[in-house]
């Protein structure tokens, strides 16, 4: 990593990353539980405690996020977690399964809205301004006052919360397996489910879906992010 100061961002990114994934998977588990599937509930995943989610996916919640933080430029985190469900329950209740699939991205959308509200409020009351010189995923705004370290930390946390959760919301709704968008589409349309199941049956189905989704993601996300920036800062 070229800039040693980026090391200071590692704990901020990891806290927000864990919060975002935990809320995402807990939302899946809760909606499945309310819909009659207690698979994830029985494993203790209807919780905002990150530990059960980390225990289920240690690579995706611990190793990969830290590794990608050091490998990406500018630094940001990628990873994954999962909430199991009963496929027979999905067969019987496809629309409930679609709601379960939608619940995770909706949780990320709520966190994006929270981060955006904090950023906008800080700009409106005059404690922050758009970080013109240091603008990045990790710092959308900067304190107006000098040496305001606490305000700077909150600004960075809110910036990361806003950016990361919009990424998670948009990416997970791409309708390709193993992403949540494929489950939402499959639950609403029978033919889409048959296509998804056929792709899942292929050894490269989920991997291919991730590769294609990651390839098209910038074309989907970039205009959405520009709209979000315009709404936040004008």
Q: What is the pLDDT of residues 198-207, one digit of tens each?
A: 766 665 567 7
Answer with the residue of higher pLDDT: 78 or 73. 78
Answer with the residue of higher pLDDT: 176 or 27. 27
Is the per-residue pLDDT at 60 higher than 80? yes
Q: Do residues 66 and 14 lie in contact, with contact meaning Cβ atoms separated by under 8 Å?
A: yes
- Predicted confidence at residue 188, as pLDDT, reads 85
Is the per-residue pLDDT at 42 higher than 90? yes
Is the per-residue pLDDT at 218 higher than 80? yes
- Predicted confidence at residue 209, as pLDDT, reads 80
Tell me how crowded residue 67 is: count the other CB atoms within 10 A of its CB: 14
**Least confident piece of the model among 143-147, 149-153, 168-172:** 143-147
- Predicted confidence at residue 200, as pLDDT, reads 67
Is the per-residue pLDDT at 5 higher than 90? no
Catalytic residue ranges: 25
Tokens 């690579």, located at residue: 59
Residue 205: give the domain boundaries. Answer: 4-233
Residue 156's nearest CA partner among 119, 181, 192 is 119
- DSSP secondary-structure letter at 44? T
Is the per-residue pLDDT at 6 higher than 90? no
Mean pLDDT for 53-80 is 93
Mean pLDDT for 45-74 is 94
- Predicted confidence at residue 2, as pLDDT, reads 56
* Sequential DSSP letters for 51-87: HHHHHH-HIIIIIHHHHHHHHSSS------------H
Answer with the residue of higher pLDDT: 99 or 145. 99
Domain count, the chain: 1
- Predicted confidence at residue 50, as pLDDT, reads 96
pTM for the model: 0.93
């Amino acid at each position: 990593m070229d800039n040693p100061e980026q090391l200071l961002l590692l704990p901020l990114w990891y806290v927000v990353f864990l919060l975002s994934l935990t809320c995402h998977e807990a939302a899946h588990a809760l909606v499945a539980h309310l819909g009659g599937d207690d698979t994830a509930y029985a494993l203790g995943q209807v919780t905002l405690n990150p530990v059960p989610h980390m225990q289920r996916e240690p690579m995706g919640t611990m190793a990969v996020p830290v590794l990608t933080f050091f490998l990406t430029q500018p630094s940001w985190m990628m990873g994954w977690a999962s909430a199991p469900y009963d496929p027979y329950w999905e067969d019987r209740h496809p629309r409930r399964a679609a709601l379960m699939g939608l619940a995770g991205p909706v949780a990320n959308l709520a966190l994006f809205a929270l981060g955006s509200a904090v950023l906008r409020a800080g700009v409106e009351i005059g404690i922050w301004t758009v970080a013109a010189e240091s603008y990045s995923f990790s710092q959308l705004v900067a304190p107006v006052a000098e040496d305001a370290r606490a305000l700077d930390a909150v600004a960075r946390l809110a910036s990361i919360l806003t950016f990361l959760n919009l990424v998670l919301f948009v990416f997970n709704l791409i309708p390709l397996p193993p992403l949540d968008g494929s489950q939402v589409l499959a639950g609403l349309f029978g033919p889409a489910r048959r296509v998804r199941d056929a792709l899942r049956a292929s050894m490269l189905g989920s991997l291919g879906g991730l590769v294609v989704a990651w390839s098209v993601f910038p074309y989907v996300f970039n205009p959405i992010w520009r709209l979000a920036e315009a709404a936040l800062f004008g």
